[in-house]
Structure 1
Amino acid sequence: MHLCALFCEGGACGYGTLVDVRPLKARVGAVSPVLFKAGEGCGACYKVKCLDTNMCSRRAVTIIVTDECPGGYCSGGKTHFDLSGSAFGRMAVAGNGGSLRNRGEIPVIFRRTKCKYPGKNIAFHVNEGSTEYWLSLLVEFEDGDGDVGSMQIKEAGSGTWLQMSHLWGATWCFVGGPLSGPLSVKITTLSSKRSLSARDVIPRNWSPKATYTSRLNFF
């Protein structure tokens, strides 16, 4: 597998400006389709280590999947990472950060690792265009697996969970309604099938483009 420098904004996962601020800043990465999994791989975390002992230290960097890498490098079922310049630089021997970034492509090894967002709980961003008949949510700051395999919502006073559909990237949606808030949200991870339910996390008077933080996380 190989790696090269990443130049992008927001990315195919839909995290938008979150990629420019901590805790995602300098830890963002794009991956090939085999890891992107049509968007269901969004939010997963990997440790990536450079194998070029002339240019690289023994340090691995932890990256969060925020995008899908474009172009020929990602075709044919290859495993491939595109990293930010900062992530590239952290793997370099002292003073070689610029030279390593200019190499363009280097051999690496990688492994899946747990995502950690100290002090953060899972949040749900209501995407622009959402209405009481079409609700679209983006999951943020999910510890542990980081990915989402299924997502459900439940209306206030109801005992029925309504299945959401994977729309794109880290975005899920429900078509139906009208929905009556507050809404509870249940997410189940793709990797280990762990579930978490955030009760009444979306308030009755929710609004598009707002982010609502739960009191929970997987750690």
Structure 2
Amino acid sequence: MALAPGQVIAIVLLTAGYTALAGSPSAPFVWQRATATFYGGADASGTMGGACEYGNLYDEGYGTRSAALSTVLFNDGASCGQCYKIACDRKIDPRWCKPGVTVTITTTNFCPPNNALPNDNGGWCNTPRAHFDMAQPAWEKIGVHRGGIIPVMYQRVPCVKKGGVRFKINGHDYFNLVLVTNVGAAGSIKSMDVMSSDSKDWAPMSRNWGANWYSLAYLSGKQLSFRITNTDGQTILFDKIVPSGWKFGQTFASKVQFN
């Protein structure tokens, strides 16, 4: 599993110009069946880092309501940031389910397959299983600890976030790696473009892994704007969100959010 890149050097809060360009929320998602286990300890300290590369989940606002998804749900990182409402399925196995409760988690990690074990006996994250390896505090909202693994019902739900979308710039010259966090609504990103202060054209960025997007252009120190389309089709322009003179490792927070 990938770990988050280096430390944040500075967080700069900007009242960026922005434009909501297009799109609207998708239709409600249906309930589906899966299974769930837990990891990371009672304080979820073992969930820090993770394949979405959000780093310290406490600092980034994700807290202890998070989960690692199996291959079919993780979708090569395209599901990073998505939110799911999960309930223990008492109709299948009432012994280990807490009745009448649900918990909402954010996708922050990948649960890798273990093909040395059968899908129904230890290989819980093997293809084609839909499985959530949840942070222990989130799992224990719906399951009895002694059960270990529980059947669940789940559905995608909009992500509710405090504050605006944030951009952390990592990488190096000619490899600008931008980690996008605190994304509301769909939670996940379909596409991302960048425009620098010395250009009039938008340049597409590519997903590196998880919630990281990269550009191979030389952008060091230039004023940057980003254009993001989420997986619900809503597009927002973050105009001049990164000021000139920025340094690698800095995070820039907008005051705007998907809805």
Q: Is 2:43 the counterpart of 1:5?
A: no
| Equivalences for residues 10-49 of structure 1 within 5 A | 10-17=49-56, 19-21=57-59, 23-49=61-87
For residues 157 and 187 of structure 1, the distance between their equivalents in structure 2, rounded to whole angstroms, comes to: 20
- Measured in 1, the distance between the counterparts of 2:131 and 2:54 equals 20
- Structure 2: state its 5+ residue gaps: 1-33, 41-46, 115-122
**133, 139, 160: which one aligns with 1:88:** 139
Q: For residues 140-219 of structure 1, what are the structure 2 equivalents within 5 Å?
A: 140-156=181-197, 158-178=199-219, 181-190=222-231, 192-219=232-259
Kindly provide the CA deviation profile for residues 179-216 of structure 1, in whole angstroms up to 9, marking residues without a partner as x: 562100111112x1211110111111111111101121
Give, in whole Å, the separation in 2 of the partners of 1:175 and 1:162.
10
For 1:211, give the aligned amino acid.
T
Distance 1:22 1:179 in 2: 24
Cα distance in 2 for residues equivalent to 1:9 and 1:121 = 22
Provide the secondary structure at the position in 1 that maps to 2:51: coil
How far is the alpha carbon of 1:33 from its aligned partner?
1.3
SS of residue paired to 1:90: coil
5+ long unaligned stretches in structure 1: 93-99
What is the Cα deviation at residue 159 of structure 1?
2.4
The 2-side partners of 1:199 and 1:85 are apart by 39
Greater Cα offset, 172-181 or 82-91: 172-181
Contact 1:130/1:208 (CA < 8 Å) preserved in 2?
Answer: yes
Partner-residue secondary structure (3-state), 2:239: strand
- Cα RMSD (Å): 1.6
User: Aligned to 1:73, which of 114, 124, 143?
Assistant: 124
TM-score by length of 2: 0.76
Residue by residue over 1:49-102, the C-alpha shift from the partner in whole angstroms, topping out at 9 and shown as x without a partner, is 00134431211100000001123211121100011111022224xxxxxxx223
CA distance in 2, matches of 1:49, 1:178: 45
172-181 vs 77-86, which moves further? 172-181
Q: 1:135 aligns with which of 155, 169, 176?
A: 176
Per-residue CA distance 1:14-50 (angstroms, 9 max, x = gap):
0011x13473111111111111110111000000000
Compute the displacement of 1:130 (Å).
2.7
Is the contact between residue 151 and residue 164 of structure 1 (CA under 8 Å) also seen in structure 2?
Answer: yes
Aligned positions, number: 207
SS, match of residue 158 in structure 1: coil
Structure (1 or 2) with the greater helix fraction: 1
1:59 paired residue among 82, 91, 101: 101
- Structure 2: which amino acid aligns with 1:32? S
Q: Which has the higher contact order (CA 8 A, sep 6+)?
A: 2
Task: State the TM-score, normalized to the length of structure 1.
Answer: 0.89
Q: Indicate the percent of aligned positions where both proteins have the same amino acid.
A: 30
Amino acid at match of 1:195: T
Aligned partners of 2:221 and 2:246 also within 8 Å: no
Q: Secondary structure at the match of 2:258?
A: coil
Q: Greater CA deviation, 32-41 or 19-28?
A: 19-28
Matched residue type, 1:174? S
Distance 1:57 1:130 in 2: 50
What amino acid is aligned across from residue 210 of structure 1 in structure 2? Q
